[in-house]
Amino acid sequence: MNEIKLQTPVDPGRSAVEISIKDTTVVLGSCFADNIGKKMEAFGFDVLVNPFGTLYNPVSVTEAVARLGSGEAFKAEECVRMGAGSDLVCSFSHNTSFARDTQEDFLEYANLSLGKSSQMWKKATKVIVTLGTAFCFRHIQSGRTVANCLKIDGREFIRYRLDVEGTVALLERMMEENPAKEFIFTVSPIRHLKDGAHGNQLSKSTLLLAVDRICTEYPGRADYFPAYEIVLDELRDYRFYAEDLVHPSGQAVECLWSRFLDFCFPAGEREEILAREKILKRSAHRPLH
């Protein structure tokens, strides 16, 4: 009797870029980067996760990498007063989690974080980058493509979509400026449906084509983990999605983490990682009595 198949398996293979427990790793990008990075943090990896907060578009990701490399402190002219009556201060380089009550408080916090993060970036040998969308927002007055619109009136921005060549150029520059680092790229499986279903597909296709070019141009230094394909093809049942039907569920994240371990971690370290996971689960257990 033939076995009934209820999934379309996606085989990531083995990565040309291997990540070891002994490596210093930086994880940048959208929500999938947060998910993977938090797992690595919990299991005791030497890892830096989104030092400017969650980032979505390739411009912001590559600008973050450049800032980590230079370590150039944030200045008063980069401070932005947030909109929607919040009156907090942040910058167009950061997620709103960095916002503070005053300019002085923001600069102190942002630059303290930057100093520590820049030091870790310089010693890191492995980088995981998750790109979320090719759609960007350019602030009209400053001309800057922003990481976050900071709740400011949408009329102050121009929305545009990067093309494949523009995205490739950004990623090429990042690779060339960091020749000692190896990169694993992913494209976020989270759909940006505010762009419409077709707009989301155009955006993701742009990112997929650009990353494919980079992996071809830099064999051995760049590889692609198919998180997008695993979620959309192999885990396409809605039980693998959160209540918003867009973000992956906890079960889906666990599945992706397991597949990511198989993809890029040495086989000899898998046992130690699983042992760390058991210790973490035991420590999180709270007895009833």
Element spanning 129, H or E: strand 126-131
Query: What is the rounded distance in angstroms from the CA atom of residue 277 to the CA atom of residue 257?
Result: 12
Nearest C-alpha neighbor of 68 from the set 7, 121, 15, 14:
121
Contacts with 43 (C-beta within 8 Å, 6 or more apart), sequence order: 273, 276, 277, 280
Q: Residue with structure tokens 């989270």?
A: 190
β-sheet bridge partners, residue 130: 29, 186
Work out the percent of the chain whose per-residue pLDDT is above 90.
71
The pLDDT assigned to 289 comes to 47
| CA 183 to mean position of chain CA atoms | 12
Query: What is the rounded distance in angstroms from the CA atom of residue 208 to the CA atom of residue 204?
Result: 6
Q: How do the pLDDT tens digits run along the chain, 289 residues long?
A: 566 666 778 889 999 999 999 999 999 999 889 999 999 998 889 999 999 999 999 999 999 999 999 999 999 999 999 998 888 999 999 999 999 999 999 999 999 999 999 999 999 999 999 999 999 999 999 999 999 999 999 999 999 999 999 999 999 999 999 999 999 999 998 877 787 889 989 999 999 999 999 999 999 999 999 999 998 887 776 566 677 656 677 788 888 888 999 999 998 887 888 787 777 766 665 555 4
- Fold classification of 24-278 is Rossmann fold (3.40.50)
Locate 206 and state its tokens: 């742009």
pTM over 0.75: yes
Query: What is the rounded distance in angstroms from the CA atom of residue 191 to the CA atom of residue 168?
Result: 21
Return the SS3 of 167: helix
The residue ranges of every structural domain in the chain are 24-278
The pLDDT assigned to 67 comes to 98
Q: 260-281 burial, b for 16+ CB within 10 Å, e for fewer?
A: bbebbbeeeeeeebeeeeeeee
Nearest C-alpha neighbor of 94 from the set 52, 153, 35:
52
pLDDT in tens, 14-69: 999 999 999 999 999 998 899 999 999 988 899 999 999 999 999 999 999 999 99
